[in-house]
Amino acid sequence: MRLKNVRGAKAVIENSEYIIQKPSSYKGKFNTIFDNSNPIHLEIGMGKGQFLTGMAKSFPNINFIGIEMYDSVMVRAVQKQELEQLPNLRLIKVDATGIEEIFSNEIDVLYLNFSDPWPKKRHTHRRLTSDRFLKRYDSIFKGVKTIVQKTDNRKLFEYSLKSFTDYGYKIVELSLDLHNDEYFNVETEYEMRFSELGYPIYMVKVTK
């Protein structure tokens, strides 16, 4: 369940040096924010930032950007980053529906972790692995298009596999029980919770 009405969240986000303000002004040149030409990895729906914080620590030669649309969730990620002060991590408050207006040919890997499954058929187009979103992602990638998805929702996972392959992506890694496989893995907050409840975690990495 998402946090709601965190007092002062908006002010914290607006005043943090780790939030990229007016992100569209950096379209095509996000490398200037990090002052290097390292690969850029992007997570849509970063939640409280546990995954990206862990990834940024593990891979200091990769730049990480997380986007989230909810103040009450993003403020927790900001607070983590204020403590860690990782030079290769930045955050953006934005709705993913406008992602192609922010990035242009500069993302190397896209992470979709525990996205909203939008289970009702009439909401299919809102899923982050729908063809509508896959089309949006086309222009943000720098070279080989690479997407990594993790979820506990079997139906969303099955839908995503079909959506990816129908759109021309190839499956290069796949796990039906990630925590019992040997893949390198940094957990999200939701992932820890679902795993503790005994749910298997599904993962797929696709390229195009």
Start-to-end CA distance of the chain, whole Å, equals: 34
Using the predicted structure, report yes or no on whether residue 157 has a pLDDT greater than 60.
Answer: yes
Q: What is the model's pLDDT at position 1?
A: 40
Q: Is 35 known to be catalytic?
A: no
Q: pLDDT for 113-131, tens place per residue?
A: 999 999 998 999 999 999 9
Q: What pTM did the predictor assign?
A: 0.94
The catalytic position among 35, 71, 116, 166 is 116
Q: pLDDT for 171-198, tens place per residue?
A: 999 999 999 999 999 999 989 988 888 8
Helices (H), the chain: 9-15, 31-34, 50-58, 71-84, 131-138, 154-166, 189-196
Using the predicted structure, report yes or no on whether residue 6 has a pLDDT greater than 70.
Answer: no
The percent of residues in the chain predicted with pLDDT above 70, rounded, is 96
- Counting beta carbons within 10 angstroms of the beta carbon of residue 66, is it exposed (0 to 12), middle (13 to 18) or buried (19 or more)? buried
